[in-house]
Amino acid sequence: MKTDKIVTNLNKITELSTSMLESARSKEWEQLEQLEQQKRELVKQTFPLGVVTKDTAAIIGYIQKITGLDKETMELVAKGRKEVAELVDNITTGRQAVTAYQNIEK
């Protein structure tokens, strides 16, 4: 793949990573998943196994930026998962309390 095509794809990957981060910040998890699938496919196209490219310095810069965006996105996803788990625990506890209360009334 030519360097200019790689750079174009890296720009798109960066844009997708930025959109993923925005989706994570907004807790739009389905949108995040769709963007991640698009990004994964574009990464596969951009970096097929066994292909060597000439302009590694520019590519490394893009990869570092993308990695930073991805790290922040993953932190937000982990936080979102924890929040959902806590909500589920609260619901379960609430249901158990209601069941116990109903059993006392009988």
> Thinking of the domain 3-75, which architecture would CATH place it in?
Up-down Bundle (1.20)
pTM above 0.75, yes or no: no
Q: How confident is the model at residue 5 (pLDDT cuts 50, 70, 90)?
A: confident
Q: Quick one: average pLDDT of 48-74?
A: 84
Q: Tell me how far apart the terminal alpha carbons of the chain are, to the nearest angstrom.
A: 74
Q: How confident is the model at residue 49 (pLDDT cuts 50, 70, 90)?
A: low
pLDDT recorded at residue 106: 64
pLDDT recorded at residue 71: 96
For the segment 35-44, what is each residue's pLDDT rounded down to a tens digit? 999 999 999 9
> Which of 44, 37, 64, 60 has the alpha carbon at shortest distance from 1?
44
Q: Using alpha carbons only, how large is the chain's radius of gyration in Å? A: 21
The alpha-helical segments, DSSP class H, found in the chain are: 3-25, 29-46, 56-105
- SS3 for 53? coil
